[in-house]
Amino acid sequence: MRQNFVAGNWKMNLTLPEAQALTTEIVQELREEQPSQRPQVVICPPFPLLMGVGQLLGEGDNPALGAQNFHQKDSGAYTGEVSAKQLQSVGCDYVILGHSERRQHFREDDSLLAEKLKTALTAGLKPIFCVGESLETREADETFDFIGQQLAAGLFHLSQEEFGKVVIAYEPIWAIGTGRTASTQQAQEVHAFIRAQVAAAYDEATAANTTILYGGSCNAQNARELFSQPDVDGGLIGGASLKAADFVAIIKSF
């Protein structure tokens, strides 16, 4: 079901004491609001910090715990990897898949991500599936073709029921960690395109209920304007999620 949604991707940052201090501050700042009155909040720490952070999130599912990745197999001789079932067993409800940094640095392609999506859903994890174009793709006026291909190859193999459990995040690669942000018009155009693609692949009702996040240098200063767009349902937040005051301000931007 479509909902306002804010996820914090901590990437490879923070020690356990730092993570616990940040989590405690975020939870305390959010206590003044009932969980039902705030957007769905998800915190995605690095693997070693999951349990330590999850224990501080308290009862209920808002804020929820998410992971940044996993291996597509259930178990086996994959040294250094973790499985979806292992993530679910330590309290994860969500997992980020297809982040541009995973695609670029670890060569994760659409075929692999399609397999990971199935594995996540079987394990009971809700995927936050990322799509987005490079600066070269945008300057070549190929953004819609590129994202359309990512959606078709990575997502649209899912059944309608399976797809209903997926959150999509649009992250223009040229705006991640660069301080550059897509204009509200640029963000809305791509989000509207994604929703139209979902409608074509499934139906209008499915598209209307799909949560689509913006994930490119969203911060406390621009979140309200971005979230005011009709097809922008929230944000996948990077650097700004590492500061409690900024992250909470983003959460309260709806």
171, 66, 113, 81: CA torsion to nearest 10: 130
For residue 111, what are its two tokens? 């075929």
Pair 16, 48: CB distance under 8 Å: yes
Euclidean distance between CA atoms 200 and 241, whole angstroms = 34
Catalytic residue among 101, 108, 133, 171: 171
Chain Cα centroid distance, residue 100: 11
How would you class 89 by CB atoms within 10 Å of its CB: exposed for 0-12, middle for 13-18, buried for 19 or more?
A: exposed
99 is known as an active-site residue: yes
Catalytic residue among 81, 99, 142, 162: 99
Give the DSSP letter string of 46-99: -GGGHHHHHTTS-SSSSSEEEES--BSSSSSS-TT--BHHHHHHTT--EEEES-
171 is known as an active-site residue: yes
Residues designated as active site: 99, 171
